[in-house]
Copies of this chain bind each other. A is one copy, B any other.
């Protein structure tokens, strides 16, 4: 890299920049000169994104100022190849080039991503990239083998990694903060308890849980509510960890962790619960999930599904879908009703906890960055940056309303032993 370009970079980054200038080879043999046609394409791309308040800085030090002032941050594009990838497919290209350290963000990453989300024309929110996404999303059914591959990709990368930034109970879903100043450990415990209270669990009852993560909810239910839990998960590492915890706590008799697909669940239960699995199910399998619930619930049965959602149907951004959560798709409420309506389940309560997920992600990000040196010992730099981007992007999505968090409580139709009001959930 030429001395000149290094200097341009140093100038562009300013003092105290998060991302120091690095040697990056240009990928195309067109030389370093930025053509004015390329600047025009970049400006058009920004326009198509609703002109987010971000300044662009090119590898030669040239700037393309945001149409909105003040700019939230500066996006440094380090080579022509990165620029072309960005122009060709902003949603995929940004993540790929950021991960490869060929795009840097000078300023707050979360704020920058939120600015992008909020700038998108309102009717486009959640819609952009739909066409680009077609090869990745919706067209591929999450069959059992595919579901296993998808889940393995994300959840089996090492429990020690997740321990670095999750709470001590290893709850990898939205926490519930009765008080926003509450710590993460307390808020995850509050969430587990909130779910149990919404389910109105009674000692001696049986619960079917699908997608049980590292087992925190199942163990919490058995420990504090005296119920017997049958919990399904297809992540090998999570199930092994959960079983070990049950043994250590002497709860093996009351919590059974089964390494199998939710579609194979059998038996009859007083309650059904699923926290953070639906995102991975795929909309075309919602009726199959409804059928599992229908055949598993007793007449007086009730259930709760907790899931990331959307205000309207839309895919994940393609970079997340390709790199972080293959096969995943957070549903809109209309999509979620496909679980309930064919079987006549009665939806009793829907609560949107969007801002609680933003708060949860703030905690995760803080812990992640505090332990980032240890992450870097476990994985390569691209992984470190990919997970930073994923966490920041998720936080931005919950802040900007691009993602929602729905807790849906339901019962069998016409069952009248349901709570009279919601007062019981909010003791003074």
Contacts and interface: CB of A to CB of B under 8 A. Distances in A.
Interface in A307-345: 311-313, 332-334, 337-338, 340-342, 344-345
B347 A126 contact: no
A99 interface: no
Contact of A349 (B178, B344, B350): B350
Given A311-B340, A334-B338, A426-B426, 18 more contacts: A122-B344, A123-B344, A125-B344, A125-B414, A177-B420, A178-B421, A311-B413, A332-B337, A333-B347, A334-B337, A334-B341, A337-B337, A346-B354, A346-B401, A347-B350, A355-B420, A399-B416, A402-B414
Interface residues of A, number: 49
Nearest to A426: B426
A264 interface: no
A423 B352 CA distance: 14
Contacts of A346: 311, 352, 354, 401, 404
Contacts of A173: none
A428 interface: yes
A80 interface: no
Contacts of A423: 178, 426
29 contacts: A125-B413, A126-B344, A177-B420, A178-B423, A180-B420, A311-B345, A311-B347, A312-B341, A312-B342, A332-B337, A332-B341, A333-B341, A334-B341, A346-B352, A346-B401, A347-B350, A347-B404, A349-B350, A349-B352, A351-B422, A355-B418, A355-B420, A399-B416, A401-B414, A421-B426, A422-B422, A423-B426, A426-B426, A427-B428
A400 B344 CA distance: 12
Contacts of A422: 351, 422, 425-426
Contacts of A340: 311, 333
A348 interface: yes
Interface string A368-387: 00000000000000000000
A122 B311 contact: no
A420 to B, nearest CB: 6
Contacts of A428: 427-428
